[in-house]
Amino acid sequence: MSKRRGAIAALTVLALAATLVAALPAGADVATDSSALRNAVTLAGIRGHQAAFQAIADANGGTRLAGTAGYDESADYVFDRLVAAGYSPVRQQFEFPFFEELAPPVLDRVSPDPVAFTEGTDFLTQQYSGSGDVTQEVVPTNDIIIPPDPVAGTSNSGCEASDFPAAVAGNIALIQRGTCTFHDKALNAQTAGAAGVIIFNEGQPGRTDVIGGTLGSPDFTIPVVDTTFALGADTYGRITSGETVVMHMVTSTVSETRTTENIIADTASGRGDRTVVVGAHLDSVAAGPGINDNGSGSATILEIAEQFTDLGIQPRNKVRFAWWGAEEEGLLGSQFYVSQLSKRDIKNIAVNLNFDMLGSPNFVRFVYDGDGSDTPVKGPTGSANVEDVFLDYFASQGLQTEPTAFDGRSDYGPFIAVGIPAGGLFSGAEGHKTPEQVAIYGGTADEQYDPCYHAACDTFAGTGAGGGATPPGLGLVSLDQLSDGTAHAVFSFAMTTSAVPGTDKSSAKAANTATSLDYWGPKARK
């Protein structure tokens, strides 16, 4: 799609649109003309920001993981661009549990019958494991149940200090999943003097594969891995039959508390009691630079924020652009932001628009299912109206969409948890494209929507060239189309005279209140 940036004609059209924009009805805002903003928000501009994120990752070990220099420089880039665009951005800092694996883990059975187990298939390092290189005997805890007992129910292995025999000290504790948290099991083992911990899956249907679990916090100085039920059951069977099983386990990790930040910027004008929070997470996973996940969403809302000031848009409702930190660690940045809001602050947020992955190389145009008509969970009151804005926009462009669920996997989660209406767009992650979707969107059937999801190949080049057998450039088609939908929705909610749920939230006397960022407390810094 061909577009021009910053044209005088666009200013004229936008001014006209601002005077004619209609209030959102209970359904979609079909009267809003967002064309001037959409024309100003170009694919080239978005790709320029993505290229900057790629360069930052290249200079910092190939990642923009929260708590690392790659993330800090990404935050600086966004902050500086916002300042240059005329905003007064705020850095909202928060502490979070940081974890990174520095080298592939090792789990080998030394004796009897030596075997090297396979990372990802047989075992994985638990998140927040400590580091260590241990070759010791494996000692089971009490309360291991093999085979799993459907009558007795879940295993209680390792949930109590008394589950650990004295022989655990200096050796590797073998623990079965069940009842209490991985954190409690592993901490009990560490307290009992274990040199390492193996937690194996419980064995019931759905609990047989390698777990890939988290310990929840950086409280551990010893290596902790989890395994398949088969590996754990075999080890336990050997020991109970009289064999002495010796394992070699190695983990190399950084697990500690670090500080990171959200970047927040408000428009200079607009009703503070109807604030539109437009968010995207800025961090990547450790494995790669995250140029689609989520450099695509971050770059898109940055380009929209810049064009708001370039075009001189005076929104009726305050727009708060937010780049969340540590999303990949569990939505921690958006959770922290929402946790700092008072009841009045929450009421003053009209809607949260979330954009997490917009340029998947094997994409589908997913819209969050605000009314829950096609998925199990509906959003708070008003979310159906948000969905309708997207659906009507894409219908006006002759583009089909599909619903996606509020499954809690992105930064809308903390907002809907406190009753704030939400919605957004998503181009797909590790799910596989169906033949029916290929007929609509193109691409490759039975391949991931993003073949480089959470991988090293989620790069600037990869997002432009496609992935696997996907035709080159399809991700750019997605980014172009979904960024237009993003711009339309942001402009629609910025300019509406109706509250999102369809009823007024407060009187005009409340206009421009709750506009300050200083309630975020002493850790906020400009």
What is the C-alpha separation between 107 and 135, in angstroms, rounded? 10
Closest CA to 515 of 315, 311, 299, 300: 315
What is the C-alpha separation between 102 and 290, in angstroms, rounded? 18
Dihedral sign (CA 391, 396, 402, 404)? negative
Question: Could you tell me the two tokens for 443?
Answer: 């691409």
What is the C-alpha separation between 36 and 4, in angstroms, rounded? 10
What is the C-alpha separation between 291 and 299, in angstroms, rounded? 9
Closest CA to 510 of 384, 353, 345: 345
Determine whether 56 is exposed, middle or buried from the number of CB atoms within 10 Å of its CB (0-12, 13-18, 19+). Answer: buried
What is the C-alpha separation between 281 and 231, in angstroms, rounded? 37
Residue type present at position 115: V
Write out the catalytic residue numbers.
327
What is the C-alpha separation between 385 and 388, in angstroms, rounded? 5
Specify whether the CB–CB gap between 306 and 39 falls below 8 A: no
65 DSSP assignment: B
Question: Could you tell me the two tokens for 331?
Answer: 């939505």
What is the C-alpha separation between 180 and 185, in angstroms, rounded? 7
Can you give 133-160 as a three-state secondary structure string? EEEEEEEECCCCCCCCECCCECCCCCCC
Task: Calculate Rg over the CA atoms of the chain.
Answer: 25
User: What residues are paired with 78 via a beta bridge?
Assistant: none
Q: Measure the N-to-C terminal CA separation of the chain; round to a whole number of Å.
A: 37
Closest CA to 71 of 53, 85, 92, 89: 53
What is the C-alpha separation between 198 and 225, in angstroms, rounded? 5
